[in-house]
Amino acid sequence: MITILQLFFRLEEKKFGFIMNRRKSIEQFLSCKNVVIAGVSSKGKGFGVVVYNHLKKAGYNVFGLNIKGGLLNNEKLFTSLDAIPFKIDAVVTVVPPQQTEKIIDEIILKNINHVWMQQGSESEKSIGKCISKGINVISGECILMYAEPVKSIHSVHRFINKLVGRYPN
């Protein structure tokens, strides 16, 4: 018998009509070391800042992207991918879907092969563009459930996903 949690996760997994989140794609993304976080606030608040700080503490070379620029902890926030003078391996989007669509266009131009669209930042159009260009795209998943060390509520969420069979194999 299927539980309500299992039903919810299965419906969420099929939200865009195809399943993208497999373990191999996630591992490929997490093996990238130079990662841009799109949607980092210069005010030091918001989920983009949480992702930025988590990945930085985990040893990634992170670059913050904020269309208005600014600083976070005395580190420059870049206004576009083109403004980043370093090698970029991957991008995490933590912005509204319309902004993600613009960022995907930049990603395609810069030949970046890995994108993680944090929940709420994805759209069918963005995902479709990535697929059509052969970009490894992850959507519908929270990066904090996969980027070690997984802490706090994210470890509980990961445990529940494993329990109900939603955690990618």
Domains located in the chain, CATH noted: 19-161 (3.40.50.720)
For residue 41, give every residue at least 6 positions away whose Cβ sits within 8 Å of its Cβ, in sequence order, or none: 48, 49, 66, 72
β-sheet bridge partners, residue 136 = 114
Looking at residue 57, its amino acid is: K
Give the list of residues 6+ apart from residue 32 with CB closer than 8 angstroms, or none.
60, 89, 90, 114
Q: What pLDDT digit, counting tens, does each position of 55-90 carry?
A: 999 999 999 999 999 999 999 999 999 999 999 999
pLDDT given for residue 13 in this prediction: 47
Residues of the chain with pLDDT under 50: 1-21
Looking at residue 167, its pLDDT comes to 64
pLDDT tens digit sequence for 30-39: 999 999 999 9
What pLDDT was estimated at residue 14?
Answer: 47
Burial tier of 86 (Cβ tally within 10 Å: 0-12, 13-18, 19+): exposed
